[in-house]
């Protein structure tokens, strides 16, 4: 698998170089405009906060990487897959005079107008990067390959990038595995759930009546993976008085019909955990046919990967 990020200072030819590399490697080319269109298709008319862009970009690129090698050129792209195997992060730099000249040719502007345009582009890039990633500038240590395009054209730069890709045997590692994509999907969707974002093709969960924020996040995660769920659909009597009236009952948080499974989410307070565990033990004793699992917040990831992704894969 090869996921190649090609970034550059404003006025550099990073998109052109990315295009040449993608063509030579028969890979998928993802430009900033193309990625924006993919994200718009994913979220529909939902408003996208700036901090939601990185996980959305990660989702879109990971989906493509399952089938093809990917070369992308987007602002901040080097931060999308830190430490991920099969990724090469390239930065193009050039002296200001070179970048101003490139803007003059591309935009057909005189030198003063080109300088103004380049400065505005630089300020916009810093502002966008700070809003989305929390800081306005990249760090050189985040790149694997830094190229100065002062005296090189796009073809020459692409040749160096291609040599680096082949030297690291990135094309020989196969495509992004389903398990690796699952991890990317989960982590990204967990972040998106905090913003209340759901796919345009999915029905958003009912947000009224949840007893705890963790339940709402969990419901959104289930909805992301198209897993049918019911919130507190049934109460189980646990104790009765001498007249047969119910004096204690237990209502699990969720029911997943596809798995005939009740799910109870706990908080981190030990007193509440102990109380819930006692009720679960009673429920299992009185209703041995009922399947129920108690999950701590740290266990939600395991639950989604075990049940949600299995359901998603079988559906496809």
Nearest of 2, 56, 59, 49 to residue 29 by alpha carbon? 2
- What distance in Å separates the CA atoms of residue 207 and residue 222, rounded to the nearest whole number? 13
Angle CA 279–284–290, to nearest 5 = 115
pLDDT in tens, 101-141: 999 999 999 999 999 999 999 999 999 999 999 999 999 99
Q: What is the largest CA-CA distance in the chain?
A: 93
Q: Tens of pLDDT along 4-24?
A: 999 998 999 999 999 999 999
Q: What is the pLDDT of residue 289?
A: 95
Q: Which residues, given as ranges, of the chain have pLDDT below 70?
A: 1, 179, 198-209, 213, 224-225, 267-272, 297-298, 300-316
- The whole-angstrom separation of Cα 114 and Cα 107 is 8
Q: Among candidates 138, 106, 132, which has minimal Cα distance to 7?
A: 138
- 0.75 exceeded by pTM: no
Map out the domains of the chain with their CATH numbers: 3-176 (3.40.50.300), 202-315 (3.40.960)
CA distance 90 to 162: 11
């Amino acid at each position: 698998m090869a996921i190649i990020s090609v970034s550059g200072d404003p006025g550099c030819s990073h998109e052109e170089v990315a295009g040449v590399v993608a063509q030579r490697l028969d890979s998928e080319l993802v430009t900033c405009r193309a990625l924006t269109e993919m994200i718009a298709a994913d979220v529909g008319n939902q408003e996208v906060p700036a901090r939601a862009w990185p996980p959305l970009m990660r989702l879109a690129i990971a989906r493509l990487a399952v089938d093809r090698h990917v070369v992308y050129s987007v602002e901040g792209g080097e931060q999308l897959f830190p430490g991920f195997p099969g990724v090469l992060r390239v930065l193009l730099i050039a002296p200001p005079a070179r970048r101003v000249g490139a803007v003059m040719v591309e935009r057909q502007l005189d030198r003063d107008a080109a300088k103004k345009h380049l400065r505005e582009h630089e300020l916009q890039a810093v502002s966008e990067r700070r809003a989305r990633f929390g800081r306005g500038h990249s760090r050189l240590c985040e790149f694997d390959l830094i190229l100065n395009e002062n005296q090189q054209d796009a073809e020459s730069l692409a040749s160096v990038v291609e040599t680096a890709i082949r030297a690291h045997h990135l094309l020989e590692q196969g495509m992004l595995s389903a398990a690796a994509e699952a991890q990317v999907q989960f982590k990204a969707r967990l972040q998106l759930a905090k913003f209340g974002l759901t796919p345009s093709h999915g029905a958003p969960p009912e947000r009224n009546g949840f007893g705890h924020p963790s339940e709402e996040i969990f419901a959104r995660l289930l909805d992301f993976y198209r897993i049918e769920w019911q919130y507190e659909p049934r109460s189980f009597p646990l104790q009765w008085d001498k007249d047969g009236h119910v004096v204690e009952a237990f209502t699990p948080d969720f029911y997943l019909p596809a798995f005939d499974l009740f799910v109870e989410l706990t908080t981190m307070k030990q007193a509440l955990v102990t109380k819930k565990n006692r009720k679960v033990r009673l429920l299992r004793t009185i209703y041995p046919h009922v399947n129920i699992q108690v999950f701590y917040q740290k266990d939600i990831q395991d639950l989604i990967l075990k049940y949600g992704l299995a359901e998603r894969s079988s559906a496809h």
